[in-house]
Amino acid sequence: MAIALAEAEAAAARGEVPVGAVLVNGVTGAVLAQAGNRTEERHDPTAHAEILVIRDAAAKAGAARLPQADLYVTLEPCAMCAAAISFSRIRRLYFGAYDPKGGGVEHGGRFFQQPTCHHAPEIVGGMAETQASALLRAFFGERR
């Protein structure tokens, strides 16, 4: 989660919402990909940290599915990212701050609990929640 938090800090420094993610091989612990949000920089509403690491790791693996991978992200994934996590068959999801407004895992549509969801990862929420929440509060506090 420390890598994801560093990616979130880097995203904030670029003027992006401070969300960072790291995808790790759950067996070996090797980092497969890491990124922070880049939606503003790329003018791409899908350039969330989670999507970026999934795309990068899948391209490196030459495979659309990453069943040995564990995802660490600083904010509860939205519904779009939850769908990408499911489609890529990620093994475990660890997230920091809960997102009552935009989250799609524990809030909102609760993607993984839907009968149409083909794969749900193991989920651990609230990991490094204090640090992740502080980054988000500081970022939005400066803009209000």
Catalytic residue numbers read 50
40/126 Cα distance (integer angstroms): 26
d(CA 116, CA 72): 24
**SS3 at position 6:** helix
Distance CA 26, CA 104 (A): 23
Position 45: which residue type?
P
Would you state the structure tokens that stand for residue 116, as one six-digit string? 């149409």
